[in-house]
Chains A and B, each alone.
Chain A
Amino acid sequence: MTHDQPLPTLPGTIVAIRRHRRLRFLPIAIAAALVVSACTQSGGGATGGASGGGAGDYPNRAITIVVPFAAGGPTDTVTRLIAEPMGKGLGQQIVVQNVAGAGGTLAAGQVATAAADGYTVLMHHIGMSTAPSLYKDLAYKPLEDFATIGLVTEVPMTIIGAKDFEPTTLEELVAFVKEHGEDVTYANAGIGAASHLCGLLLQNAMDAKVTEVPYDGTGPAMTDLIGGQVDFMCDQTTNTTEQIKAGEVKAYAVTTPERNKALPDVPTAKEAGLEGLDVTVWHGLYVPTGTPEGVIQRLSDELKKALKDPTVVEKFGALGTVPVAEDQATPAAHREKLQSQIELWKPIIEEAGVSAG
């Protein structure tokens, strides 16, 4: 039953094989051509820029920025957005490499032991400052093993609630939580995620405990919030702005000192009467300690320039954020931020008894 195809004649077979051979390589050839053209588009257009003092001939080859989270996430997006103008300024291609795992500590650990030559750069967010408190046996020390290059952006967060959740303002929310306590459910995107940290800070500020419901990432948490399975959460504007605008969730407050341009009607936590809730998902660039001063300065200068790039500004806008001010994109300001954040989170995380082992 299966052998009813007649045997092909010899010349026929040769022709068929030839045709197939050519066809077999065609897809690979097309793919190669496509990729090559994409490369020349993104990296090839750049020409050598002036080299900074003390940096020697840096950079003379491609630079890798390691992102400690999966491709497509907010941190990855921020990195790729600044990588392009920075690469142009440095006159070298910047390769973004995702090394996800262990709450970002896997990537940080790798970069900490990489060669301190400025060719391996780490992008990390607020998790850099919380990891020492969350992970007891961390293989690196953020302040000692890394040199800071500069802050990149501070993504604001918003406190949001399910559509049918009773409280309509932050004040009512606080009162409601104080009354109902652990009957109220708070969704977060997993231990150590920004939404988890914001929740800890929020409970501190409200002086009340809620039931925390951890999820595997923001997507599932938001799904259940919109579906009304949980009561409220706090997350980056990147994930919440569109949902707020569409009325799928209600917004109680933003967690920054100023209101957010994309959400002008949402009050700040302070305006709504809640002190001590200043939290953003801040991002910064790092290199291993021992990297030459000149190289760090060069990277910091290019970062500053990249943050002024109109495309970067525009696309950061879509993420619900803005580039940091110029004086923040410096090694000193970044180091100060890192230090103060490590000190801020240590007692909060310890008090909550959270540990990632």
Chain B
Amino acid sequence: MSLHPRLRPALRDLLSGLVFLVLGLAFAIGATSYELGTPARMGPGAFPFVLGGLLTVFGATVIVKGFLAGDGEAIGPVPWRAIALILGGILFFGATVRGLGIVPSLFVAVFLSAFASQQTRVVAALAIATGLTVLCVLIFVVALQLRLPLLGPWLGG
């Protein structure tokens, strides 16, 4: 149990409030490009516009609260390397699975994301990627009959 360090700037509140504020504004402004309609026939823009506005207000409130009496907790370390590797792995899989086929695509994706752990070296990552690719092919393609080519059209499969 730690004491509440009131004097530290409440960075968590400021940042999260900012995220809400920006996203709320983005949705609300985006919604204005769709028809707002009338009460009887609300257009596609009405609901997101109101909700976007609400989120903006909530975001502003969180920011104000952060200045007045934030939770004051430190943000702590952010694993940028892990984020980049895992993000890259998943995006690679999504982008290439239909072209490369599930085996190469998944292998690369797992290989990349395995490195997100700093304890994992190349040989271990290779082993993890191989094992998981085999396991996933067995479960999803053999057992569950997911319709995905093992080797995709880009590889002539």
Contact = CB atoms under 8 A, between A and B. Distances in A.
Interface stretch (A4-12, A28-36, A131-139): A28-36
A95 B149 CA distance: 13
B142 A32 contact: yes
Interface residues on B, range: under 10
The binding surface of chain B is classed by DSSP as helix
Q: Interface extent on A, as a size class?
A: under 10
B147 A28 contact: no
A79 to B, nearest CB: 14
Interface of A is mostly: helix
Contacts of A35: 142-145
Contact of A97 (B138, B144, B147): B147
Contacts of A31: 143-144
B26 interface: no
A32 B147 contact: no
Contacts of B143: 28, 31-32, 35
B139 interface: yes
Interface string A14-32: 0000000000000010011
A64 B147 contact: yes
A99 to B, nearest CB: 10
A28 B145 contact: no
Contacts of B144: 31, 35
A126 to B, nearest CB: 24
Interface string B114-143: 000000000000000000000000110011
Interface in A51-108: 64, 95, 97
B134 to A, nearest CB: 12
A100 to B, nearest CB: 14
A35 B145 CA distance: 8
A64 B147 CA distance: 10
Nearest to A33: B143
